[in-house]
Structure 1
Amino acid sequence: MIITVTLNLALDVTYQVPGVHWDGVNRVGAVHRRAGGKGVNVARVLAALGRDVLVTGLAGGPTGRAIEADLAAARLPAELYAIAGESRTTLAVSDTSASRRTALFNEPGPEVTPAELAGFLGHYDSLLTGADAVVLSGSLPRGLPADAYATLAAVAAGRGVPAIVDADGDALRHAPEGRPAILKPNAEELARAVPGGTPAEGAQALRGRGADAVVVSMGADGLLAVTGEGTFAARMPYTVRGNPTGAGDSLVAGLALGLVEPGPWPERLRRAAALGAAAVATPVAGEFDPGVYADIHPQIIIT
Structure 2
Amino acid sequence: MIVTVTPNAALDVTYTVDSLVPDAVHRARDVRRRAGGKGVNVARVLHSLGADVRLIATAGGVTGAEVAAELGAAGLAAELVPIAGETRRTTTVLSTVDGSVTLLNEPGPELSAAEWAVLVERVHRRAPDVLVCSGSLPPGAPADGYARLLGGGPSILDTSGAALLAGLAGRPAVVKPNADELREVTGLTDPVAAARELRRRGAGAVVVSLGADGLVAVTASGTWHATPSTVLTGNSTGAGDAVVAALALGLSRREPWPEILRRAVALSGAAVLGPLAGDVDLAHYHRELELVAVRARPEQEL
Q: Shorter-chain TM-score: which interval?
A: over 0.9
| Code of the aligned partner of 2:67 | I
Which shifted more, 286-295 or 138-147? 286-295
Structure 2 counterpart of 1:291: 283
Q: Alpha-carbon deviations, 1:209-264, whole Å to 9, x = none? A: 12111101110011110111111111222211111111000010000001111111
Identical pairs, percent: 51
Structure 1 counterpart of 2:93: 93
Structure 2 counterpart of 1:106: 105
| Code of the aligned partner of 2:124 | D
| Code of the aligned partner of 1:185 | P
Structure 2 counterpart of 1:200: 192
> For residues 223 and 143 of structure 2, what CA distance do their matches in structure 1 show?
28
Q: Which runs of 5+ in 2 are unaligned?
A: 296-302
TM-score normalized with structure 2 length = 0.95
* Contact preservation (8 Å) 2:243, 2:268: yes
> For residues 270 and 78 of structure 2, what CA distance do their matches in structure 1 show?
26
Structure 2 counterpart of 1:273: 265
Structure 1 counterpart of 2:122: 123
Q: Alpha-carbon deviations, 1:114-160, whole Å to 9, x = none? A: 2211122112212x13x21111000111111221111111xx21xxx
Structure 2 counterpart of 1:213: 205
Within the alignment, does 1:187 sit opposite 2:186 as a pair?
no
Q: Alpha-carbon deviations, 1:9-31, whole Å to 9, x = none? A: 00000011122233332121111
> For residues 18 and 163 of structure 1, what CA distance do their matches in structure 2 show?
41
CA RMSD of aligned residues (A): 1.1
Deviation at 1:296, TM superposition (A): 2.3
Which shifted more, 293-302 or 107-116? 293-302
Deviation at 1:291, TM superposition (A): 2.4
Pairing partner for 2:240 from 248, 260, 269: 248
Which shifted more, 58-67 or 251-260? 58-67
Within the alignment, does 1:26 sit opposite 2:26 as a pair?
yes
> For residues 10 and 120 of structure 2, what CA distance do their matches in structure 1 show?
20
Which shifted more, 17-26 or 180-189? 17-26
Deviation at 1:65, TM superposition (A): 1.1
Deviation at 1:197, TM superposition (A): 4.6
Structure 2 counterpart of 1:149: 146
Within the alignment, does 1:52 sit opposite 2:44 as a pair?
no
Pairing partner for 1:261 from 243, 246, 253: 253
> For residues 223 and 141 of structure 2, what CA distance do their matches in structure 1 show?
33
Within the alignment, does 1:41 sit opposite 2:33 as a pair?
no
> For residues 248 and 276 of structure 1, what CA distance do their matches in structure 2 show?
7
Deviation at 1:52, TM superposition (A): 1.4
> For residues 137 and 216 of structure 2, what CA distance do their matches in structure 1 show?
25
Q: Alpha-carbon deviations, 1:160-208, whole Å to 9, x = none? A: x311000000011112210111100010000011112511111111111
> For residues 246 and 76 of structure 2, what CA distance do their matches in structure 1 show?
18
* Contact preservation (8 Å) 2:17, 2:93: yes
Runs of 4+ in 1 over 6 A off after TM superposition: none
Aligned length: 295
> For residues 198 and 100 of structure 1, what CA distance do their matches in structure 2 show?
28
Task: Describe the SS at the equivalent of 1:252.
Answer: helix
